[in-house]
Structures are given as structure tokens and as C-alpha cells.
Structure 1
Amino acid sequence: MTARISLDPPRSLLFRAVSWYSNRVYGKVVDPLRAGAHHTGVLWACSRLELSVGRWKRLDPQLKALAVMASAATIGCGWCMDFGYWVNHSQGMDPRKLSEIPAWRDSDVYSPLERDVLAYAEAMTVTPPQVEDEMVERLLGSLGERALVELTTVIAVENMRSRSNSALGLTSQGFKDRCELQPPGASGQRASATDR
């Protein structure tokens, strides 16, 4: 599938600034920025939201990553799965936990708390949402109120990202391909940046 919107937006001052940042941090300008740059107000608001979300620290980062990826998988956002895999792999997350998210119920790599987070993310993401009181009670007991609110909000934010990216036809940008993945039990050195 190709993008349903041009990924060559007007080169406003804001787009040039976020492009510089994206190149610096991710090694390329990410397609959601290119798509959003057709509307400077949207690009500005989304950029501010992403910077704010990045500063939330009440929830364990790996639980947050699992929730975001489960939401993206439920929606079917190829761009979000590709990017999320790369970001979380580069931060040291177990590659099996990342790759098995779409079929997490059949996997043995997740703890009971991680399974509760994955179930909650899916329940929030389906339409209509299927969140049950028991889910929230278990998570509240494990995480506390602040972390539960953060979890709920990052899932809602990922729903916005994934649904927007899917609707605009944004697909993989090859981030996952930049991960040096070894099959289970294989050994070896990570490839250098010049080998990729």
C-alpha cells in the first residue's frame, strides 16, 4: 500500500525543525511527521503531545511499550509496529516479547502483570471498548492510580497514532529491518551501524 497523502509537504519552518529532530533521533524523517506537516496546527499540537507523553514516568517503560504495541497490533498499524519494534529493541527489550505481541495469549514470555497490561490495551482498543471492572481492579492493585492513569492515557494516545497512520496509509519505514535480530539460541555480535 502506498500512502494516501503526499509525504512531501510544504517546507514550513516547523516542518524543517521537526525534520531535523527526527533525523537526529531516528536517522530519518518519520512518515507521520511528513503527513502531519500538511497542517501546521496539527503538526505543532501532535509534536507537543508527543514531547509531553515522553516525559511521563509513573509507569514502567516496558509495560508502556507492551501496551502501545498491543494497541497498534489490534488496530493493525504496520507503521507503528515497525517503529515500536525498533525503538523498544534499541532500548534493550526482549525481542521475543516484541515479536510475540500479536499472539501474546499463546506465548509463555509474559508475566501475569504484562498479560494484564496486554489484555487491557486490547480491551481499550477494540470498538466498542471491552474494559471490565476486574481488569481495572487487578491493574490498580499492581500499578497504583497514577500508573494506571498513565497506562490508560498512553493506550488512548496510541489509538490516535495508529488510527491516523492506518487511515493515511502509512506502512513500515524499515525501522525493524535496522534491528540486528538473532534467532533464539544464536550467538554473534551486533552489526555495526556501517554494516546495516
Structure 2
Amino acid sequence: MPSTFRIPKAELTGPYGRLLVAFTRRTFGEVPDVAYTLFHHKPILKATLAFERKAATWDRLDPHLKAYAVMTAAATVGCGWCLDFGYFMAHHDGLDLEKVRQVPTWRDAEVFTDLERDVMEYAEAMSTTPLGVTDWMVDKLTDQLGVEAVVELTKMVAVENERARMNAALGLASQGYADSCSLAPLGA
């Protein structure tokens, strides 16, 4: 389904635009729609890219748990673009795609471990208004993962909330990333 931009696509021009197009096509196969919106405000685009590069280096939380948490947050917020891209990244990162496919319906799925469920419950609780996080959730995850991993988990879910809410507000929808890895997502 094509995106329904609420802000017209910026023309990716000049040396920075050419570099952005080359990088995103090489990395993702096409230019993500979010790049067209952020290109309207290059300082925000540059800050976002720098932050995303830095966040990709964090390693205190298991990458599978991180992916499940991020996708749960996207599903809770209702960002189709984020879920679509999340499926693509999960494929790229070698996650179990049948399991990843079930993240939006994790409460009914039988494929997740207790720890994965705890992580997704936390991500969901962080992504609702009002916030649904409890002391018990944080204590349980801290016991299972350690403080550094819980801090990283919390930051990644917060970051995904920012991404998802921005993308949904700007009208970005699925770009077909999941199609490129033959993954039919379940409903969010």
C-alpha cells in the first residue's frame, strides 16, 4: 500500500540528497519514505541519522528481545510503516520470521518464551497512554536481564514510540518492505 503523505515528498537534491539516496538504496533496497519527510529539515535528518547509527551499536540487550520490543511498540502505537520495516530488518538480522510475524498478536501466540512475553508486555505498557508500566514489571525484567539491559530496552521502546508516532502522524504507511522478504504480517 502506498504512503499517504501529509507533507509532500521533498526532492532529494544536491550532494547530500545523492548521498542519502545511494546509502538508503544500498542498505534497504529503496529510499524509506521517512527520508523524504525528514529531508525538508536537514538538521533533524542529520541528527536522526547520527542517533540511529549510535543506537545500533548498543549491545546490552539481546537483539531478538530488542526487535520484539520495538515491533510491539510499533504495533501498539499503530504504525504500519514501522511494522513493515521491522519485519524487513528482522529478516535482514536473521530472526525467526514465523515468530516475528506473530509479534502484533503476541498475547495469543504460543511461540514466545516467558522472558519474551515479559519484554513485549513492558514495551506495550510503555506505548500506551496513560503509561502502563509498573514497578513489578521493571523489577522482574531487572532480575532477568540486569539493569543495563533494562535501561537499553526502555530507551529503545521510547525511541520506537517517537519513530512510530512521527511516521503515523505524517501519514506514512507500509512501503512493502515485508513483501521483499516474503513475510505476510499478521494484523497490528
Fold conserved between structures, TM > 0.5: yes
Moved more, 71-80 or 13-22: 13-22
Pick the structure with greater CA Rg.
Answer: 1
Cross-structure match for 2:49 = 47
TM-score (normalizing by structure 2): 0.92
1:2 aligns with 2:18: no
Q: 1:104 & 1:60 partners in 2: Cα distance?
A: 18
Cross-structure match for 1:95 = 97
Counterpart residue identity of residue 111, structure 1? T
1:10: Cα distance to partner?
A: 5.0
Q: 2:27 & 2:140 partners in 1: Cα distance?
A: 36
* Runs of 4+ with >3 A deviation: none
1:81 aligns with 2:114: no
Gaps of 5+ in 2: none
Q: 2:7 & 2:86 partners in 1: Cα distance?
A: 22
Question: Does the 8 Å contact 2:122/2:133 carry over to 1?
Answer: yes
> Of 125, 128, 132, which residue of structure 1 is paired with 2:127?
125
Counterpart residue identity of residue 74, structure 1? T
Counterpart residue identity of residue 50, structure 1? E
> RMSD of the alignment, in Å?
1.4
1:92: Cα distance to partner?
A: 1.8
TM-score (normalizing by structure 1): 0.88
> Partner of 1:106: helix, strand, or coil?
coil
Q: 2:125 & 2:107 partners in 1: Cα distance?
A: 13
Judged with a 3 Å threshold, the aligned counterparts in structure 2 of structure 1 residues 127 and 12 are, in CA distance, closer, same or farther, namely farther
Counterpart residue identity of residue 50, structure 2? R
1:70-124 deviations in Å (ceiling 9; x for gaps): 0000011010000100110232211222111111111110000000000000000
* 1:83-162 aligned within 5 A: 83-162=85-164
Counterpart residue identity of residue 159, structure 1? N
Q: 1:69 & 1:112 partners in 2: Cα distance?
A: 17
Cross-structure match for 1:67 = 69
Q: 2:182 & 2:4 partners in 1: Cα distance?
A: 26
Question: Does the 8 Å contact 1:120/1:135 carry over to 2?
Answer: yes
1:18 aligns with 2:47: no
The answer to which structure, 1 or 2, has the higher relative contact order (CA under 8 A, 6+ apart) is 2
1:181: Cα distance to partner?
A: 4.6
Q: 1:92 & 1:41 partners in 2: Cα distance?
A: 33
